[in-house]
Structure 1
Amino acid sequence: MRVEWAKGDQARDAGLTTPAYIRRYNDIPYGDDRDWNALDVYRNRYKAGKLPVIMLIHGGGWVYGCKELYQYYGMELARRGFAVVNYSYRLAPEHPFPAQLQDTVAVAAWIMKHADEYGFDTNNVFAVGDSAGAHITGLFCAFLTDEGYRNQFAFQKPEGFRLRGVGMNCGVYGFEDHENDDGWVERNVLLGDLLSHPESPACREQIDVLHLVNRNFPPAYIMTCEGDFLKEQAPFLHSAYEKAGARSELHIFGSPEHPLYHVFHVTVQEAEGQKCNDEECAFFQGLIGRD
């Protein structure tokens, strides 16, 4: 998977360069693992002062990916007026869950600690995740809003940190079998890499976002598309939000006649991806300053 997926991502980004309007800070350590605990910060150099922040949580089936593969997508988000924190996290199977969640929490702590240095508005922090990254985003929301869930782990919530809103893009959220579920086989196979004991109901329950959503989850822009093999997961998450009394919007791009593809929005050269990113960032902008 790592070899084949890398070929596609490298082809997607061929010829792209850092735009002149972006100021970037590269390879900043945020944790103890020198191989994986590194992040970049992207800012629009024409936007002064403290900016709202987007944490960018990459996908890759929990076993693949790094910040370099999301840099151009991250800089597109920064163009829209955000300070983007794009980070790598430890991958399974070498680092099973909860390493990915622990690294995400460490990035949140880093943001709080370095807000003045990089111009972060810590009252307006958002997160975007796609595919497995959306799953990690959901677990991060549960960690931040549910003390009982948080107490299952040895690491702590960063003092003063909160998410104003999240973007959940082409994500995986639940692990039950459903009729006509094209993504069931792949995500359950990959659970064998993510979890130390994938056969354990307790371990699976600990990572099932659909059963963790609560009324205090941050507002969510939930996105999928025709052609996404995880398409049915987005309505499940939207329903879980509604049942919990939390706010979410469900957006489905493309059509049966003109399907798109899984995580199409990361391909910044295409109009549909730009439209999605515009709408998601506008959703975030609409949340700024609200309580």
Structure 2
Amino acid sequence: MEQYRNNEIPPIEYTPGTGEFRDAVIDLAHYWTAIAEDLHTDEPGKQERTAAACLRFRKECAMFDYARALQWHDPQDVSVHADIPYLPDGGYRDGEVRGHLLDAYIPRDAIVRGGNTLPVYIDIHGGGFTYGYKELNRNFNTHLADLGFGVFSLNYRPAPQTDLVGQLHDIQAALRWIDEHITRFPVSPDNIFITGDSAGACLSLLTLLIEHSDDAARAFGIGRASGIHLRGASLISGVYDITPSSPMRARLIETVGNEFFAGLDDAAVFLDPADWLTQGIGIPPLFLVTSSDDFVQSETLALATSLARNGRDFELHDFKVPPTQTLGHVFPVGMTWLPESERVLHGIRAFSYPLAQ
């Protein structure tokens, strides 16, 4: 796979709007996402339809993200440790799994100081459960690291390589790797947080739930959670209600297929926070971000309402967007350079540091 120094993406030379331009962007996007290499569009029936829908969705997202990718860069004071396998099969070669890799981003100041006090964030990228790898969020995560965090950015197998349960199992494997190897890095093993955007926020919240409820862990087919202690979570433009009757579930099925939600009968009560928050399951404080032009704004507001109704600790940051401006879905992740995004990044630090011990 092509690597780009300091995560700086070169512009495409072809004229925008032409077929050559589109093909070049899609080819470039392999840096941050799977496109067609894991899809089998010649399979009959539902699998063929799902593969075609995933391919279309990935290409649309890649075209949209290209302009943003041209702004990516690693801050000069952040050290990048890329493509660490968290399972033995992690890698890019034939027979290896790109979805089983992670990156670590460490401020150079922490390396120089050599301590183990730096708070940590674990990031789970979004992308409708089928688009993107960790490179999609590298710009966000290195800028988060630049504000004083060690950041571990996870890959997981995108649909249709696996289903929701499989993605949660991948994340558990990554958490176990981090728990076992964190002393290799100049960061705190005791002050760990989790973050995610869009589908990644859903996976992050479910991971919090699994870590704090043995019943939830068993319901998702996880015999025992990693046991990593998470002190809080920052969730951006998340999708949270994925019950069978929810509008978001129906929308997701159009892309990833109903098979993505297979094997969830025992987990039915854990698919909507409005249900499981009433059970007294303890979760750490949450930092929630959305905006008035976020197409899933209502998901964050519904989560905040359920948290408030059940007396849970959270912050809600809902940006009011004037008619002359656009922020949109996952804006702090996709456009870190905006003043509003900088407010979110600094807000994450202000939220997290007082929770560290």
TM-score, normalised to structure 1, is: 0.89
* 1:208 CA drift (Å): 3.0
* 1:79 CA drift (Å): 0.5
Task: Give the gaps of 5 or more residues in structure 1.
Answer: none
Task: Give the gaps of 5 or more residues in structure 2.
Answer: 1-56, 91-96
Give the letter aligned to residue 8 of structure 1. Answer: F
Match of residue 157, structure 1, among 216, 220, 225: 225
SS of the equivalent of 1:195 reads helix
CA distance in 2, matches of 1:7, 1:204: 35
State the partner residue of 2:352. Answer: 284
CA distance in 2, matches of 1:194, 1:247: 35
* 1:278 CA drift (Å): 1.1
1:128-149 Cα deviation digits (max 9, x unpaired): 1110000001110110111111
CA RMSD of aligned residues (A): 2.2
Give the letter aligned to residue 249 of structure 1. Answer: E
Structure 1 range deviating more: 184-193 or 98-107: 184-193
Sequence identity (%): 30
Indicate if the aligned counterparts of 1:38 and 1:87 stay in contact, CA closer than 8 A.
yes
* 1:168 CA drift (Å): 1.1
1:219-262 Cα deviation digits (max 9, x unpaired): 00011101100000111111222233321111101334344200
State the partner residue of 2:307. Answer: 241
Match of residue 27, structure 1, among 75, 83, 89: 83
Match of residue 272, structure 2, among 208, 211, 214: 208
CA distance in 2, matches of 1:211, 1:90: 28
Structure 1 range deviating more: 233-242 or 83-92: 233-242
Match of residue 188, structure 2, among 108, 114, 121: 121
* 1:206 CA drift (Å): 4.5
Going by fraction, where is helix more abundant, 1 or 2?
2
State the partner residue of 1:56. Answer: 123
Give the length in aligned residue pairs. 284
CA distance in 2, matches of 1:158, 1:14: 37
1:53-97 Cα deviation digits (max 9, x unpaired): 100110001111101111111001001110000111011122012
Tell me: CA distance 1:127–1:163, structure 2 relative to 1, closer, same or farther (3 Å).
Answer: same
* 1:201 CA drift (Å): 6.1
SS of the equivalent of 2:190 reads strand
Match of residue 262, structure 2, among 173, 197, 208: 197
Going by fraction, where is strand more abundant, 1 or 2?
1
* 1:107 CA drift (Å): 1.7
Indicate if the aligned counterparts of 2:75 and 2:143 stay in contact, CA closer than 8 A.
no
Indicate if the aligned counterparts of 2:164 and 2:261 stay in contact, CA closer than 8 A.
yes
CA distance in 1, matches of 2:161, 2:282: 33
* 1:184 CA drift (Å): 6.7
1:109-145 Cα deviation digits (max 9, x unpaired): 1111112111231211001111000000111011011
Tell me: CA distance 1:158–1:203, structure 2 relative to 1, closer, same or farther (3 Å).
Answer: closer
* 1:212 CA drift (Å): 2.8
Give the letter aligned to residue 164 of structure 2. Answer: F
* Bigger radius of gyration: 2
State the partner residue of 1:170. Answer: 237
State the partner residue of 2:252. Answer: 187
1:106 aligns with 2:134: no
Indicate if the aligned counterparts of 2:237 and 2:300 stay in contact, CA closer than 8 A.
yes
1:273 aligns with 2:329: no
Indicate if the aligned counterparts of 1:215 and 1:244 stay in contact, CA closer than 8 A.
no
Give the letter aligned to residue 135 of structure 2. Answer: E
